[in-house]
């Protein structure tokens, strides 16, 4: 409550930023802040386009116990080294203080407004852990083993290890450790799959931090008969540790961070799902449905907002739009819209606004046209990362190429009904583009696609 009353004069908006595997949330955060602070090209962001954005600057974050998002280090990687920054594997926070002139005449007469924008960066794996709060050990075991059955290759060693233990036998630490190790190896293999769109819970198994080796991270799903685990059995030990994981890992994250968010953006690599075919798209749809179910959605009254928080705006963003031609950007949005349609209805009913966008937080390519045999092909041009291959050619990180990435369908439903590769796109990792400099040699803001539209949706109304 103190946080809310303290923001009456200088309001605070807490924006949660997360993403499913390899979606580029670190790059998104670095580019968002860089473009705000350095006055990037943001024509669709009303405060900037209307000349009302007086300044945006980094400020000390409010939560001293939360690591600071290493913004300067990531921008240095993008601008100077032209490499993609390493993903963050823990929660992090950054505050940007924005001074602006109101679009309303009366408010403008009272002087400049100020908004503290708190950016809360957290791994998507932590978000996918939240449903565990409402699942019993036996329910989680059934769900986890069903998921393992859908991934027979990745899960084979774990399922073999599971087959030689008796859940009703007396608990042995050696059995718990070997099963947990096999289960963790399976989770790691599932995440390494290039077509995997989301990591499987428990998320901390792949990023244990200071909990590594603790009993709270030394458990695994078991084949249970349905009866209550006998005291002293392996099943009872695993259930106790599962509950400890929820108590010491999941609930503190929900209470201390997640429940304090006002708005949320979820980054999604839809192009990877398209390349994975209908099965990968179905997996992504399930993941997004689970993600949306986790959010505390709805609008609060003024008095209610002083003592509680709800997420009143959610944006799902399809990243890496620079990997396709601009003529397909709207089609990429429609595919994502199709993926979240079912889950979206529930959030909208509670009073939350949900939207989708196709974007590239940092543009790594430019567009060109190639004419061959009288036919013109829309292409993208960029510098592949060192070690990338296409058609047997190995790239050195310096040579630039033109690439026809493929076309997306006009009807998004087609990607679920046709053969696996029909609507795949040719993708590779490109180096970040060179940042332009002005006449004095000062580096300009990071180039992007539709970041201004994203900003307008997420915070534009709070700067009106």
pLDDT in tens, 181-197: 999 999 999 888 766 65
Tell me what the mean pLDDT of segment 341-365 comes to.
86
Buried b (16+ CB within 10 A) or exposed e, 235-270: bbbbbbbbebbbeebbeebbeebbebbbbbbbbbbb
The fold of the 2-122+257-363+449-463 domain, in CATH, is: Rossmann fold (3.40.50)
pLDDT, tens digit, for every residue of 87-140?
877 899 999 999 999 987 666 666 689 999 999 999 888 888 988 998 999 999
Average pLDDT over residues 142-155: 92
Task: Using the predicted structure, report yes or no on whether residue 66 has a pLDDT greater than 50.
Answer: yes
pLDDT band at 417 (very low <50, low <70, confident <90, very high): confident
Q: What is the pLDDT of residue 193?
A: 75
Residue 457 in this model has a pLDDT that exceeds 60: yes
Q: What is the pLDDT of residue 299?
A: 52
Question: What mean pLDDT is predicted for residues 43-71?
Answer: 95
Segments in 57-215 forming alpha helices (H):
71-76, 105-109, 124-129, 137-149, 152-163, 173-192
With CA atoms as reference, report the closest residue to 406 among 380, 382, 378, 425: 425
Tens-place pLDDT, residues 255-310: 999 999 999 999 999 998 888 888 888 888 888 887 777 776 655 433 334 335 78
Mean pLDDT of 40-50: 94
Strand partners, 449: 360
pLDDT of residue 127: 84
pLDDT at residue number 419: 56
CA distances from 293 to 19, 290, 334, 335 (A): 15, 5, 21, 20
User: In sequence order, what E strands does 194-332 have?
Assistant: 263-268, 313-318
Quick one: pLDDT at residue 349? Answer: 66
Can you tell me whether residue 209 is helix, strand or coil? helix
Rounded to whole angstroms, the Cα distance separating 84 from 446 reads: 13
Which ranges in the chain are annotated with CATH 3.40.50.300? 2-122+257-363+449-463
Q: What percent of the chain has pLDDT over 90?
A: 60
- Least-confidence region, from 56-65, 286-295, 342-351, 428-437: 342-351
Question: Using 50, 70 and 90 to split pLDDT, how confident is the model at 443?
Answer: low
pLDDT at 433 over 90: no
Give the list of residues 6+ apart from residue 175 with CB closer than 8 angstroms, or none: 165, 169, 234
Label residue 250 by pLDDT band (50, 70, 90).
very high
Residue 371 vs residues 375, 377, 399: alpha-carbon distances, Å: 5, 6, 21
Q: What value does the mean pLDDT of the chain take?
A: 87
pLDDT for the residue numbered 300: 42
pLDDT over 70 for what percent of the chain? 89
Range list of β-strands (E), 12-82: 12-19, 53-59
pLDDT at 281: 86
**Nearest Cα to Cα of residue 250 among 220, 211, 283:** 211
Predicted confidence at residue 145, as pLDDT, reads 96
**Residues whose CB is less than 8 angstroms from the CB of residue 83 and which lie 6 or more positions away in sequence, other chains included:** 77, 385, 431, 432
At residue 1, does pLDDT exceed 50?
no
């Amino acid at each position: 409550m103190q946080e809310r009353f303290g923001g009456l004069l200088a309001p605070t908006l807490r924006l949660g930023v997360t993403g499913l595997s390899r979606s580029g949330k670190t790059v998104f955060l670095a580019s968002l802040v860089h473009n705000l602070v350095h006055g990037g090209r943001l024509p669709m962001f009303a405060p900037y386009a209307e000349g009302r954005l007086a300044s945006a600057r980094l400020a000390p974050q409010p939560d001293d116990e939360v690591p600071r998002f290493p913004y300067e280090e990531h921008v240095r990687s993008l601008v100077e080294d032209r490499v993609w920054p390493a993903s963050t594997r823990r929660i992090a926070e950054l505050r940007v203080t924005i001074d602006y002139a109101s679009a309303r005449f009366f408010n403008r007469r009272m002087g400049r407004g100020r908004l503290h924008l708190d950016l809360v960066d957290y791994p998507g794996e932590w978000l996918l852990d939240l449903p565990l709060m409402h699942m019993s050990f036996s329910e989680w075991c059934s769900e986890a083993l069903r998921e393992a059955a859908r991934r027979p290759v990745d899960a084979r060693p774990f399922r073999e290890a599971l087959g030689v233990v008796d859940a009703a036998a007396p608990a042995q630490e050696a059995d718990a450790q070997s099963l947990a190790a096999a289960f963790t190896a399976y989770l790691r293999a599932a995440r390494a799959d290039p077509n995997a769109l989301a990591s499987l819970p428990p998320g901390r198994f792949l990023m244990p931090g200071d909990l590594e080796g603790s009993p709270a991270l030394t458990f695994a799903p078991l084949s249970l008969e349905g009866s209550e685990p006998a005291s002293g059995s392996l099943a009872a030990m695993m259930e106790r540790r599962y509950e400890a994981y929820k108590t010491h890992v999941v609930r503190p994250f929900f209470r201390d961070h997640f429940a304090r968010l006002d708005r949320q953006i979820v980054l999604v690599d839809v192009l990877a799902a398209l390349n994975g075919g209908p099965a990968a798209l179905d997996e992504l749809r399930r993941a997004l449905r689970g993600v949306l179910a986790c959010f505390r959605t709805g609008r609060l009254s003024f008095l209610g907002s002083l003592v509680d928080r709800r997420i009143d705006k959610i944006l799902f963003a399809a990243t890496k739009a620079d990997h396709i031609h601009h003529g397909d950007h709207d089609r990429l949005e429609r595919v994502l819209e199709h993926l979240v349609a079912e889950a979206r209805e529930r959030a909208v009913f509670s009073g939350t606004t949900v939207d989708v966008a196709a974007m590239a937080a940092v543009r790594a390519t430019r567009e060109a046209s190639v004419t061959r045999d009288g036919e013109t092909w829309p292409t993208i041009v960029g510098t592949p990362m060192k070690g990338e291959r296409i058609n047997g050619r190995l790239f050195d990180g310096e040579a630039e190429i033109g690439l026809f990435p493929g076309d997306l369908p006009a009807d998004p439903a087609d990607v679920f009904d046709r053969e696996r590769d029909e609507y795949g796109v040719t993708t590779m990792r490109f180096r970040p583009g060179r940042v332009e400099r002005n006449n004095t040699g000062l580096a300009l803001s990071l180039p992007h696609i539709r970041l201004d539209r994203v900003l307008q949706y997420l915070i534009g109304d709070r700067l009106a």
